[in-house]
């Protein structure tokens, strides 16, 4: 029989914050489709999986949490653990972060240039 209750809102918020920070800090690595399906099949069979697709131990929405390589099952013993990020994935994540940083810098330069141009037009 599936549980229907989840932890308190405060506990769920704390868990979500911790999971999100780890996920972002690691570069937001996602599981492969195969890894995700394996994790979710274990979750769905777990007695702690609620009818709202959440875990009654941590309160996380499992279809999201199971996609994150940095996440792990909160049960004891764990039904699945965090996955390691290989060198190829780490390089791709680093490249994506650098591209995002460069795009942000370029955008800020365009905004700065546009503001300067507007100020100069205003002086005329």
Tens of pLDDT, residue by residue over 42-78, are 999 999 999 899 999 999 999 999 999 999 999 999 9
If asked whether residues 34 and 65 sit together in one domain, one would say: yes
Say what percent of the chain tops pLDDT 70: 91
Q: How far is CA 27 from CA 30, 59, 87, 103, in A?
A: 9, 23, 13, 17
pTM of the model: 0.69
Parent domain of 90: 86-124
| Pair (29, 72) in one structural domain | yes
In whole angstroms, give the CA distance from residue 115 to residue 120: 9
Identify whether residues 93 and 122 lie together within a single domain: yes
Counting beta carbons within 10 angstroms of the beta carbon of residue 20, is it exposed (0 to 12), middle (13 to 18) or buried (19 or more)?
A: middle
Mean pLDDT of the chain: 86
């Amino acid at each position: 029989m599936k549980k229907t209750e989840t932890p308190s809102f405060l506990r769920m918020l704390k868990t979500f914050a911790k999971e999100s920070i780890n996920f972002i800090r690691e570069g937001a690595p996602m599981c492969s489709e195969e890894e995700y399906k394996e994790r979710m099949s274990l979750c769905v069979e777990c007695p702690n999986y609620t009818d709202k697709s959440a875990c009654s131990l941590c309160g996380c929405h499992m279809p999201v949490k199971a996609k994150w390589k940095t996440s792990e099952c909160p049960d004891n013993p764990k039904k699945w653990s965090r996955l390691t990020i290989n060198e190829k994935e780490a390089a791709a994540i680093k490249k994506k972060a650098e591209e995002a940083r460069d795009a942000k810098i370029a955008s800020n330069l365009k905004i700065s240039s546009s503001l300067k141009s507007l100020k100069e037009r205003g002086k005329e």
